[in-house]
Chain A
Amino acid sequence: MNVDNRYNRQIILPEIGEKGQQKLAESKVLVIGAGGLGVAIMPYLAGAGVGEIGIVDHDVIEISNLQRQVIYKTDAIGKSKAKEAKAMISDLNPLVKVKAISEKLSGKNALSLFEKYDIIVDATDNIAIKYLINDACLVTCKPMVYGSIFRFQGQVSVFNYQKGPTYRCLYPDENLDVLNCEEAGVLGVSVGIIGMFQANEVLKMILGIGEVLSGKILVYNTLNNEQQKYDFEKSEFKSVDREVFEEKYNKCVIEEVSFDSVLDEINNDEVLFLDVRNIDESPKISLENQIQIPLMNLEIEIEKLDKNKKIYVFCQSGIRSKIAVELLQKHQFKNIKSIAGGALAMKNILKEEINL
């Protein structure tokens, strides 16, 4: 296969040349979301000869996707978007190394994924994940090529480019309620146009040509073809480091319940009350479905516990029980809650019960 012929029309551009083509071949781009934006971006990155493309999407193709996600075929309905997009890229340009990642992007996989790529493209359709991408880009020092759509309008920007402003500098409030395409509706071309703007920013960054949309947001209206650029500044308070990231996205959520609210489950055989105090601690609590494993032995004796049961953990006052919940969650126990106030609170409630 003649590589020079494949890329001839762009290599003859003085701004690109053989050198630029080499830069493209050495670049690695991760596209998050293989929906309307992603399918507009990927073919152009592949065609241009980006060396490596990763595609993150856990969705399968639905018939309602096809009016805008035009790389997918009708007979691929029900198949993985990431895998179908990978097949399309390989057909278009077998020189591109492609990886299909059919997983949901989360705090758990984002950092290790991002570290393997040079540029991260946000082609997602919800706000919460944009903050996750932004924060993971900050931790891993990668630029984020942002695009999003509201009906006939689109926004494009590049965040964290050479330590430039981020998504949080533009929109600091992450508790937003914003409509996505599913809710608001969209015409395929609108999302395609915005995706192409994103692909253009990716290629410019790799090639080092033109001006990257850093510290600027482009707003495009497809109905009247008006386009505006707005400048925004970096806010020093919006930085995120690894520690903040882990705390925000990967901290176990420990649920607490009051003993009051679970009284009617005392006799339920699907429920287990786990006392993590030492044997000599009082007040003694003895419930029908109860087991005692002191916290320090919990990991060794973990096989005594049934993962399928709902487990309420208690200690003396509700502190060690939270540590126990965290430990059990790490061992893939799913339905674990800590009893607030521990045995002391439970004893009072049990006394009241008896007096009644």
Chain B
Amino acid sequence: MIEVKYFGAVAEKTKCEFEKLSFSKELSLQKLLQDLDEKYEFESLTFRVAVNQKIVSKTSDYTLQTSDIVALLPPFAGG
């Protein structure tokens, strides 16, 4: 089980601020992002991805571990 947190415009697409996802076989970060993109159609939305509070490359070769927390962080512009 992992937790995925959504912020800003990304959370508007997912219509939730977080969700817990379980996976049976090995799941890479790239695959997770691909699945989420298919589910929520992020399209042109820009965001950075953090795993356990650390921002990483979306293409990094990382296998998700149980209890990892992934966060999708788009830029904000208001002021």
Contacts and interface: CB of A to CB of B under 8 A. Distances in A.
Interface of A: 33, 35-38, 123-127, 130, 147-151, 153-155, 170-171, 173, 176-181, 184, 186, 191, 217, 219, 221, 224, 228-233
B79 A176 contact: no
Interface size grouping (class) on chain B? 20 to 34
A310 B54 CA distance: 55
B4 interface: no
Given A170-B55, A171-B48, A228-B53, A179 B79 contact: no
Contacts of A124: 79
Nearest to B50: A230
A33 B50 CA distance: 30
15 contacts: A38-B79, A123-B79, A148-B77, A150-B7, A150-B77, A151-B8, A170-B48, A176-B46, A221-B17, A224-B17, A228-B5, A229-B53, A230-B54, A230-B71, A232-B54
At the interface, is chain A mostly helix, strand, loop or mixed?
mixed
Contacts of B78: 36, 125, 148-151, 179-181, 184, 186, 191
Nearest 4 Cβ contacts at the A-B interface:
A149-B78, A181-B78, A125-B79, A148-B76
Contacts of A221: 17
Interface of B: 5, 7-9, 17, 44, 46, 48, 50, 53-55, 71, 73-79
A150 B48 CA distance: 16
B7 A171 contact: no
